[in-house]
Amino acid sequence: MKIVNVVGARPNFMKIAPLLREYRRFPDEFEPVLVHTGQHYDANMSDLFFRQLEIPPPDVFLGVGSGSHAEQTAKVMVEMEKLLVAKPADLVVVVGDVNSTMAATIVAAKLCIPVAHVEAGLRSGDRTMPEEVNRIVTDALSDYLFTTSPDADENLRREGIPAGKIHFVGNVMIDTLLRLKEIAGRSEGRYGVVTLHRPSNVDEKAVLTEILSALDVIQKDLPLVFPVHPRTAGRLKQFGLWEEMSRWPNLKLMEPVGYLDSLRLLAGATVVLTDSGGMQEETTALGVPCLTIRENTERPVTVTEGTNTLVGTSHARIVGEARKILTGGGKRGRVPKYWDGQAAQRIVQCLRKK
């Protein structure tokens, strides 16, 4: 089976790595091809992850880069179509919910190539979020829907996806976390980790300023480290906020960090304040309290079972919930079913039965 695996943006790399390792155990059955769309291209958003996660260099690099949603999606589609017409595949595997995921799916579906979506069925219910649109389109067109939690299965059934296409296999991102946890270790001392990159949080000055005002209060009690996503760095500079923040005594702004440093920081943190989807899951797997700076989440299992609390974007809530953790300790939670390091194995076993 010739499988074209598509990655484009930072959170895709942790998800594809365990699948690529698993196909290699069956060399007579699978011929994997790795396509990198180039949605993320900075060394510390891409190459560093390939090295640390031991992902082989991509077989094909599409070099699409940044752009508006339509531009980025269209560029991936044009290049993917050329590739899949020239070199037909038996299956296209896409992961997550980024523009590259949706673009590759549309192209494969129109060429009548089956699509497997890894991390299917997540829904925030918020269509102003670009990822939500990507998830809905990708799932509607996929033939194999591999899910990380039973709520995702339910979402898919509600949207009319036949039960036979839905496979609850667990979380490939946690496969990677469990494999590299010992190597990454954990940072010492008392500190919190901050990450922000959602357009709804960073693209509007008023919203971003409100979130930062809460961080300013928290850093007086707890040193904070903040690896800054390029989108956010751009906005902080554009809004004239970067200079001021870099003078806060207890907040360390830094360049985006690689996977191992990220894991090391998360594992030792007192609290993580984030709007990342992946970090909500990683903190739950590590048993570290997470405050999610959003009004909703497509990953409710991290709240109902894990260590996650939704705090929205208001100063009062963020500070209030952080104080609770600093005075009483945060949620401990439990690790959801099948977040056990064997999700990629389950996926590959399912594909072998095809």
For ligand UD1, which residue of 76, 98, 109, 251 counts as binding (CB under 6 A)?
98
HSE at residue 200, side-chain half, CA atoms within 13 A, is 16
Choice between 61 and 248, CB closer to ligand UD1? 61
In angstroms, give the least distance from the CB of 71 to ligand UD1. 10
Q: Residue 114 or 230: which CB sits closer to ligand UD1? A: 230
Helix (H, G, I), strand (E, B) or coil at 253: strand
Per-residue x/- mask for ligand UD1, residues 43 to 62, rule CB under 6 A? Answer: --x-----------------
Nearer to ligand UD1, 84 or 122 (CB): 122
Q: Please say which residue, 42 or 159, places its beta carbon nearer to ligand UD1.
A: 42
Report the residue number, 9 or 172, with the smaller CB distance to ligand UD1. 9
CB of 242 or CB of 248, closer to ligand UD1: 242
CA distance 293 to 270: 16
Distance CA 114, CA 93 (A): 9
- Beta partners for 208? none
Alpha carbon separation from 203 to 9, 132, 280 (Å, rounded): 19, 18, 21
> From the CB of 70, what's the least distance to ligand UD1, in Å?
12
Q: Does 315 bind ligand UD1 (CB under 6 A)?
A: no
Give me Rg for the CA atoms of the chain.
20
Residue 38 CB, shortest distance to ligand UD1, in Å, is: 9
The edge-to-edge listing of strands for the beta sheet with 271-274 is: 251-254, 224-227, 192-195, 271-274, 290-292, 308-310
What is the size of the binding site for ligand UD1 (CB under 6 A)? 19
Stretch that binds ligand UD1, among 35-43, 182-190, 245-253, 325-333 (CB under 6 A): 35-43
Residue 315: how many CB atoms within 10 A of its CB?
Answer: 16
Residue type (1 letter), 265: L
230 binds ligand UD1 (CB under 6 A): yes
Shortest distance (Å) from residue 13 CB to ligand UD1: 10
- Can 69 be counted among the known catalytic residues? no
What is the x/- site pattern for ligand UD1, positions 1-30, by CB under 6 A? --------xxx-------------------
Angle, CA of 133, 136 and 140, to the nearest 5°: 140
Q: Which residues contact 230 (CB under 8 A, 6 or more apart)?
A: 42, 45, 256
**DSSP string spanning 301-344?**
HHHHTSSEEE-TT-HHHHHHHHHHHHHH------PPTT-SS-HH
Q: Which of residues 190-229 bind ligand UD1 (CB under 6 A)?
A: 197, 229
Q: How far is the CB of 164 from ligand UD1 (least distance, A)?
A: 29
Q: Is 1 exposed, middle or buried (0-12, 13-18, 19+ CB in 10 A)?
A: middle
Using CB under 6 A, which of 54, 66, 87, 323 touches ligand UD1?
66
Helix (H) or strand (E) holding 31: strand 31-36
- Which is the catalytic residue, given 36, 40, 167, 197? 197
CA distances from 320 to 114, 142, 245, 325, 326 (A): 48, 42, 21, 9, 10
Contact mark string toward ligand UD1, 130..169, x via CB under 6 A: xx--------------------------------------
Q: Which residues contact ligand UD1 (rule: CB under 6 A)?
A: 9-11, 39-42, 45, 66, 97-99, 130-131, 197, 229-231, 234
Catalytic residues: 197
